[in-house]
Amino acid sequence: QKEVEQDPGPLSVPEGAIVSLNCTYSNSAFQYFMWYRQYSRKGPELLMYTYSSGNKEDGRFTAQVDKSSKYISLFIRDSQPSDSATYLCAMSPPSGGSYIPTFGRGTSLIVHP
């Protein structure tokens, strides 16, 4: 079992839909939870991160963490064709000398007009 599990999709939605992307994990030491967006043939870019449990909102994006269930989500409201990309979740433990994230395999999202 991989430490971080993520459905590769693809997930296809119409423009304007609410998108829900999810990851599960097995390492209870993870405290930082990140979402990266990767466009085709580009490097991943950090969208947002949260610490421990709870919600965080940034514009149309909302990240949720449920540590009791070891489950994290990214919601995208009013999705746009420009949101079409692969979304990777990533997680890291607190300090101890390293915040190197462990990544999920990514979910491919397609938003069609």
Partner 1 sequence: DSGVTQTPKHLITATGQRVTLRCSPRSGDLSVYWYQQSLDQGLQFLIQYYNGEERAKGNILERFSAQQFPDLHSELNLSSLELGDSALYFCASSVGGGRQGFSGNTIYFGEGSWLTVV
Q: Rule CB under 8 A: which of 11-40 touch partner 1? A: 32
Q: Is 95 in the site for partner 1 (CB under 8 A)?
A: yes
**Cβ contact 71:22 at 8 Å:** yes
Contact set for partner 1, span 69-88 (CB under 8 A): 88
Q: Which stretch binds partner 1 (CB under 8 A): 19-27, 55-63, 71-79, 104-112?
A: 104-112
Candidate list 12, 26, 51, 112; residue touching partner 1; CB under 8 A: 51
Are 63 and 48 in contact, with CB atoms under 8 Å apart?
Answer: yes
The C-alpha atoms of residue 31 and residue 53 are separated, in whole angstroms, by 8
> Is residue 58 close enough to count as binding partner 1 by CB under 8 A?
no
Q: Which two tokens stand for residue 78?
A: 């009013």
CA pair distance 97, 34, nearest whole angstrom: 18
Report the interface residues with partner 1, using CB under 8 A. 32, 41-46, 49, 51, 88, 92, 95-106
